[in-house]
Amino acid sequence: MNFISRLAATIDADEQSTQQMQLGLEVAAALGSPVEISEWRAVCEVAGVPWSETWTTRFTEGQLLRRDGECLVLDDELLDDLEQIARRQGRWEAHHAACAQMLFERYSARHAGVARRRADHLERAGKYEEALEPLLLAEEEAFLDGDADEAHRLLDRRERLLDHLGADARDPRRAQNTRRRAELVYNNGDVERAQRLIEECREILIQTEWPSEHGSAAQLYGRILRDTGRQDEARQCFEEAMTSFGASGDDRGLATSRASLAYLELAAGHHDSAKGYFTKALQTFRRLGDDFMISSILLLLATIWRSSGDIEQAKETVAEALEASRRSSHKPVQASALITLGEIARSEDKFDAAKQHYARAAAILEAAELRTVHIARYNISLVEIGAGHFSEARPILAELLERYPAVGFDARLPLVYAGLMTCAIGEGDWSGFEKLHAKTLEMVDETDAAHADLAWMAQRALELVDARERPEAHQQMVDFACEQLERLDRDDEANELRDRQVTSV
């Protein structure tokens, strides 16, 4: 039985009411099954179709629809009939336009799932130009949910719409797509491809004077340069991004660039400068209600508090970060919070607790297939070193020698070599120590590395070396530890360490 026959068998009304009911059902079909009743009523209002409370009862009793809580379910045959009728009458695209308008009026642009639905309706309505923006928002949502495949599919759809619109190869919207794809590729660990993509689109974005997109491209390029050890060039890119975001009035982008500069300062051991950048960025993200960035920055501030010895402030800051990460439902940030808790526990020599935090973080990151799982595994190796389990730490570090370059973490290789060097000392492998010590110094000089973990491992190694039996190795570890402490602006600790060694001798 086709739709018209089913409708006639369901109701006993005049011709005008029948037409209104048919239009109402067509709109419901455009929304897609199952249909939330409140949305159906709202879209009918947008479409100029008088909606009646009695429809739900009539249609369910007549078995045109099936009720499921606050939703109505239309069977596939009915959906097909309604679509064909609406298409023949030239109403199908208008129904989808009404659905898109209803979603725009009813929800915020960033309400979960709404951008994707709006894009679907606008595309079906033939409004390709209008569909471009919600497709970007849907791609961003997929990215934050860790669904890279879906994000790529949404960018592919956007490319097809640009094809329909006749956009040429240098259209800035295509460059915007390339920049977003570079972000996805970078996040998945393919730094080389991400760099090629970002270099491809940057020129177009600069020439078209699109400051917000130019800023985003410069921001990503800076992160790539930072990860490959080119810190000065990375700083220039972040400053370039800040200028572009400032020109476009993009507070979010400006705050993100400030946070990136802060991260560089933190990595270089310039904690006061880093704290200033982070604090200013955090104020903006609190105002914008961006829980993802709030939690991310709080975790980095917790690192600064921990480094300054204020462990209680660090713990309070991590707790606040965890709360914000739960609000954002972003698993990688929750993993970062666990890693920070592990760092705090490790600093207190609570190695079992630290290992538990790191392992939970690694499980989250592995499930999301994120490259940062290797950092969590590296942290587990540090716990094993701290606990004296060198045979447990060594294979983890040996694997990371291969994994890090493959996922773009070349700048972290000095940490891995320093870990292997410490394991060699712990296991009494002095031939291996000499080779690894030379390689560690080479990598540190090559990348100009300064990292708290390097100082920590050097001091752990120093505890393992008998100054009388191995005076040369002992002095090498003193020199390495002090050099790292001084690079991190921890001169007092370096001087104290030297004085302590002189006294002990």
The answer to whether 204 touches 170, Cβ cutoff 8 Å, is yes
Question: Which residue type sits at 55?
Answer: W
Torsion angles phi and psi, residue 408, rounded to 5: 85, 20
The pLDDT, as a whole number, for residue 20 is: 86
By the 10 Å C-beta count (0-12 exposed, 13-18 middle, 19+ buried), 463 is classed as exposed
Look at residue 259 and tell me whether its pLDDT is greater than 90.
yes
Model pLDDT for residues 336-363, shown as the tens digit of each residue: 889 888 988 988 899 999 999 999 999 9
CB atoms within 10 A of CB 429: 17
Asked if residue 34 has a cis previous peptide bond (ω within 30° of 0), the answer is yes
pLDDT in tens, 199-215: 999 889 888 878 889 99
If residue 402 lies in a helix (H) or strand (E), which one and from where to where?
Answer: helix 390-406
What is this structure's pTM?
0.63
Question: How many CB atoms within 10 Å of residue 118?
Answer: 26
Spell out the residues 6+ positions from residue 210 whose beta carbon is closer than 8 angstroms to its own: 172, 176
Q: Check the CA dihedral 448-452-458-459 and report its sign.
A: positive
As separate numbers, helices (DSSP H) first and strands (DSSP E) second, the chain gives: 26, 3
The CB density around residue 401, as the number of other CB atoms within 10 Å, is 12
Average pLDDT rounded to a whole number, residues 406-424:
94
What is each CA distance from 264 to 181, 201, 239, 336, 400, in whole angstroms?
A: 24, 25, 12, 18, 23
Structural domain spans, the chain: 3-106, 400-505
pLDDT above 90 covers a percentage of the chain that reads: 65
Tokens linked to 210: 């699109």
And the tokens for 32? Answer: 């897609």
Question: What's residue 1's pLDDT?
Answer: 45
Q: Rounded to an integer, what distance in angstroms lies between the CA atom of residue 208 and that of residue 229? A: 30
Give the model's pLDDT for residue 475.
Answer: 94
pLDDT above 90 for 282: yes
- Angstrom distance (rounded) from CA 221 to CA 228: 11
Task: Quick: pLDDT tens for 65-81.
Answer: 888 888 888 888 888 98
* Pick from 151, 159, 103: nearest CA to 128: 159
For 330, the token pair is 């972003």
Alpha carbons 145 and 59: distance in angstroms, whole number: 38
Instruction: Give every CB contact of residue 311 below 8 A, 6+ residues apart in sequence.
Output: 305, 344, 347, 348
So what's the pLDDT on residue 502?
63
For residue 67, the cross-strand partners are: 72
Residue 50 to residue 70: CA distance in whole angstroms: 20
| CA nearest to 444, candidates 486, 475, 413 | 413
Specify the 3-state DSSP secondary structure of 37.
helix
pLDDT exceeds cutoff 90 at 382: yes
Question: Amino acid identity of 65?
Answer: L
- pLDDT level of residue 333 (50, 70, 90 thresholds): confident
Query: Residue 71 is inside which H or E element, if any?
Result: strand 71-74
- Within 13 A of 447's CA, how many CA atoms are on the CB side? 23
pLDDT at 392: 97
